[in-house]
Structure 1
Amino acid sequence: MGEYLRIQEMLREGESYAGLILGKNGEPDYHLVLMPDEAVDVSWPAATEWAARREGLLPNRRELALLFANQREQFERVWYWSSEQHETRAQLVWGQNFASGIQTVYGRPFRGHARAVRRLNGV
């Protein structure tokens, strides 16, 4: 319970704790924080810039799955960008539909929504 209280104290106004992302391939675990507000009707480059201006990041695919599981009520039932480009087709980027939970790829010019996250390491 002490760790959860420390995390709650680290949240900024309007942020919410999304959960723990387990490290893979020797990477450390970290806690995911959903930042307030969202960008609407933005291409992937614009979404990436928007998140950076907020001092955050677009969530990766694992983080989007956690957000769908734990913070779905914080999202509209539409499609949101991730930070991950397709492995073999760099013009495509992954995202998640918050109505169905499906993850799929779209071209960078597609107009979607975006949310920013922060990662808390070593809490």
Structure 2
Amino acid sequence: MSKAQFLAERQRPGEIYAGLILGKNGQPDYHLFLLEAKPKALLDWADSKKWAASVGGELPNRCEQSLLFANRQEHFEKDWYWSSEQNARNDDYAWVQSFGSGLQSSGRKSGKYRARAVRRELII
């Protein structure tokens, strides 16, 4: 199947194909789609997760953010964006990605950052 055929069959309106994520530890591989929707304001982590669900997606994890930075950086402001992952060492923090520098760090969950949502399609 060609990429054009795949996108015609699988990509939904308002989505941008971001690429393939390889599953780890026996998890399936999957395709990642970036949703075009953007919140109107900076949000804390909890509100970012609610917003992402309200537009039919989820916040990307850290691996997905790296792929988005590599493949679809032009669809982001050069700013920090929430990931779906909490910091394992401190429950008050979650991981964020800079789409200016490519760095990942953790931010206080009560802080205000940008958010984007993604959809995953498993390869089975």
Shorter-chain TM-score above 0.5: yes
Q: Which amino acid aligns with 1:47?
A: S
Q: Distance in 2 between matches of 1:70 and 1:36?
A: 15
The C-alpha deviation readout for 1:73-92, integer Å capped at 9, x for no partner, is 00000100000000121110
The residue aligned with 1:32 is 32
Residue identity over aligned pairs, in percent, reads 47
Give the superposed CA RMSD: 1.2
How many residue pairs get matched?
Answer: 122
1:65 is displaced (CA, Å) by 0.2
The CA distance in 2 between the partners of 1:88 and 1:7, in whole Å, is 39
Distance 1:88 1:102 in 2: 19
Instruction: After TM superposition, list the pairs within 5 Å mapping 1:1-123 onto structure 2.
Output: 2=1, 4=3, 5-39=5-39, 40-122=41-123
| Residues 65 and 8 of structure 1: CA distance in aligned 2, closer, same or farther (over 3 Å) | farther
State the TM-score, normalizing by the size of structure 2. 0.93
Greater strand share, structure number:
1
